[in-house]
Amino acid sequence: MPHRPFTRGVHHLGNGCHAWLQPDGSWGYSNAGLVSDQGETLLVDTLFDLAHTREMLEGFRSAVPAAARIGTLVNTHSNGDHTFGNQLVAGARMLASRACAEEMAARRPEVRAQMQQRWREFGEAGLAVHELYGGRFDWTGVVYTPPTETFEQELVVHVGSRQVRLVEVGPAHTRGDVLVYLPAERVVFTGDILFVDAHPAIWAGPVANWIAACDRIIGWGVETVVPGHGPITDPNGVRRMRDYLVHIRDQARQRHDAGMPEADAARDIPLDGYEHWLDRERMVVNVHALYREFSGGRMSTSGADELHARMRRWRAEATTPAPGPTLEGA
């Protein structure tokens, strides 16, 4: 696959497919997609707030006039950076897995907006949200806009003459992850089943499902892969994610079986070959999910707010300079 620049805005993939990329792909900066044919359109995901979603929609409309009216929206999973802009395509057929819709109902944007506006009242979780997202996204005015239809396992839809397969592969990243696959065009929009050059976050698991999802994408023989975060890639990018998941699974297993606390394991696991990946603090979430899985789900599961707080502490510790020598050691 020829190198594609990782630049903000619309990227033409050929055969009626486009991607909207948001460098650098870190917290909140997700990608979206557009499929068009014969005047019909399908949008893959909205973005984290109304301003970013409007910019994306305007970009797609400039490239594809038919995108002035989005006929179908697919939410690949429940996270706000893929759903909070849904209200801007009201009137479209909105599709998601049943599990995705259930998670969306439990994590409404109005609650996130309240935390953003009054973050000091939410303790360390509020501080984490403020540091990760404050000033970059604005959730004021975002209204919960759920899917109009849900499905389980697989749903086939058509955009003009193009066949689009919606394939549920969760629980993995979240409970209801969906791949948007165009067999004839050999293109797949992965949502957050794929991060490129960034650590993923295993919010749901099990990790075996995520590895199986990577294997499925590779087995399809696609040529173009649009990740949920990061630059456009090909099956080699999917293999890289698969290798990462296998690596941290095996390394975490060794430490779990040796009795190492999960917080220590998150720092101890070697990341040779992945040092340049963004957002290493997500190892906190990943090791937590793996330890929970290794314990048969019997361990208490921390909520997303607590895990954000833990990641915020990890980031703070990782960026704090080591103390200088003491008088005794001088």
Looking at 64-122, list the stretches that DSSP marks H as alpha helix, in order from N- to C-terminal side: 98-106, 109-117
CATH of residue 118's domain is 3.60.15.10
- The string of pLDDT tens digits covering residues 57-91 is 999 999 999 999 999 999 999 999 999 999 999 99
Range of the domain at 187: 9-317
> Residue 323 domain-assigned?
no
| Distance, CA of 216 to CA of 88 (rounded, Å) | 32
> Residue 181 domain-assigned?
yes
Burial (CB < 10 A; 0-12, 13-18, 19+), residue 315, is middle
| Distance, CA of 106 to CA of 74 (rounded, Å) | 19
- Give the bridge partners for 73, in sequence order: 43, 94
Q: Number of folded domains in the chain?
A: 1
> Residue 64 domain-assigned?
yes
> Residue 326 domain-assigned?
no
pLDDT of residue 322: 40
pLDDT of residue 2: 58
**Both structure tokens of 13:** 């993939």
In SS3 terms, 158-185 reads as EECCEEEEEEECCCCCCCCCEEEEECCC
| Distance, CA of 263 to CA of 268 (rounded, Å) | 9
Kindly report the pTM of this predicted structure.
0.93
| Distance, CA of 85 to CA of 54 (rounded, Å) | 8
pLDDT of residue 87: 98
| Distance, CA of 160 to CA of 321 (rounded, Å) | 57
Interacting residues of 54 by C-beta distance below 8 A, sequence separation 6+: 85, 88
- Give the bridge partners for 96, in sequence order: 150
> Residue 330 domain-assigned?
no
> Residue 1 domain-assigned?
no
Confirm if 236 and 198 have CB atoms less than 8 A apart: no
> Residue 262 domain-assigned?
yes
> Residue 2 domain-assigned?
no
Residues of the chain short of pLDDT 70, as ranges, are 1-2, 298-302, 319-330
